[in-house]
Amino acid sequence: MKGIVFNIVHGSMVDGYGIRTTIFLKGCPLRCKWCCNPEGQKYDPELRYVSMLCKGCGKCIDICPEGVIAMSKEGEPVIIDRERCTNCMKCIDSCFFGALETFGEYYTVDELFDIIRRDATYYKSSGGGVTIGGGEASMHTDFTLALIRKCKENFIHVAVDTCGYTINEKAFQVLSEADLLLYDIKGMDPEKHLRDTGVSNELILSNLKKLDSLNIPVIIRMPLIPGHNDSDEDIEKAAEFLSTLKNLDRVDLMNYHTFGVIKYAQIGKNYELDLSPLSPERLDEIGQIFARYSIKTQIGG
């Protein structure tokens, strides 16, 4: 059994839960317009083209069996027809300049665990562990469950990050074995949620209620996106709903940012938004609304 991983980050932090290694699994049912990991959305490996490194030598054009790479007359040195690219990855080795790569590599649980265990000293000294995120970890039920069990057999704390949309019976069982849940809430308005993430929020909110019955601590991760979920009304509704949870640890407020925008072009996607982060004053006001419902917040994770 193998899982498809698009990133492994050593030394990541979840405040209060020590130094961690985060495993990012590929595949997500949501299409949030602000997503900072667009390379994690698709379930399968996909071709990454880094135009800054491309010298325009044309070697990849000759290699591509589908004939979907062509010299460009303006902008980037080559253009790739993503509609027709099969992600066969045959072009990668033809590029001596590292302009072509894969987002997504397959690992067995043991291969991943060999990487995870290298940081065991940090986990012990800081009270940290492993975070399994994505993409959406609950879409890889068997793999995620096997990885959780391997870590826990070795006394490593496991947090699982979930968007809450794909939680069927099996996924529920997987999440029930985690030590900590990081649960993404994008907003309370079903119509705006559908417009901006591609799915309604009803299932996500009802799954959160179900998971709350597991008595596992939950940290809510809430991106703050201007025009989507940042009005007083939006925040009041979220605070009211979250205040009913029994196992809520806190809400992490993630201010809007554009750190992932460069990756959209690398996989042939467009980034639609043109927004600015919320001001420190507004973040403070939002924190105060949550505080009125006795909910702890912090900026970032």
Q: Which residues bind ligand SF4 (CB under 6 A)?
A: 47, 54-60, 64, 66, 68-69, 77-78, 80, 85-91, 94-95, 97, 99-100
27 and 140 Cβ atoms separated by less than 8 Å: yes
Up-side HSE of residue 173: CA atoms within 13 Å toward CB? 9
- Please give the Cα distance from 248 to 225 (Å, whole number): 22
| Residue number, 58 or 226, with CB nearest to ligand SF4 | 58
The distance of closest approach from Cβ of residue 44 to ligand SF4 in the complex, given in angstroms and rounded to an integer, is 11
Secondary structure (3-state) at 133: strand
Mutual orientation of helices 109-117 and 141-153 as an angle, nearest 10°? 40
186 and 223 Cβ atoms separated by less than 8 Å: yes
The distance of closest approach from Cβ of residue 212 to ligand SF4 in the complex, given in angstroms and rounded to an integer, is 43
The distance of closest approach from Cβ of residue 100 to ligand SF4 in the complex, given in angstroms and rounded to an integer, is 5
The distance of closest approach from Cβ of residue 263 to ligand SF4 in the complex, given in angstroms and rounded to an integer, is 17
The distance of closest approach from Cβ of residue 104 to ligand SF4 in the complex, given in angstroms and rounded to an integer, is 12
User: Hey, what amino acid is at 127?
Assistant: G
Q: Which residue is nearest to ligand SF4 (CB)?
A: 95
| Residue number, 12 or 94, with CB nearest to ligand SF4 | 94
Measured from the Cβ of residue 66, the count of other Cβ atoms closer than 10 Å reads: 13
| Residue number, 65 or 276, with CB nearest to ligand SF4 | 65
User: Look-up: residue for tokens 């105060």?
Assistant: 288
| Residue number, 11 or 56, with CB nearest to ligand SF4 | 56
User: Look-up: residue for tokens 């491309």?
Assistant: 54
Helix or strand run (H / E) with residue 166: none
User: Hey, what amino acid is at 215?
Assistant: N
| Residue number, 52 or 194, with CB nearest to ligand SF4 | 52
The distance of closest approach from Cβ of residue 72 to ligand SF4 in the complex, given in angstroms and rounded to an integer, is 10
Task: At 260, list the tokens.
Answer: 């992932």
| Residue number, 93 or 142, with CB nearest to ligand SF4 | 93
Beta-bridge partner residues of 24: 7, 133
The distance of closest approach from Cβ of residue 65 to ligand SF4 in the complex, given in angstroms and rounded to an integer, is 6
| Residue number, 33 or 90, with CB nearest to ligand SF4 | 90
Secondary structure (3-state) at 184: strand
Q: In angstroms, how far is the first alpha carbon of the chain from the final one?
A: 31
- Please give the Cα distance from 175 to 144 (Å, whole number): 9
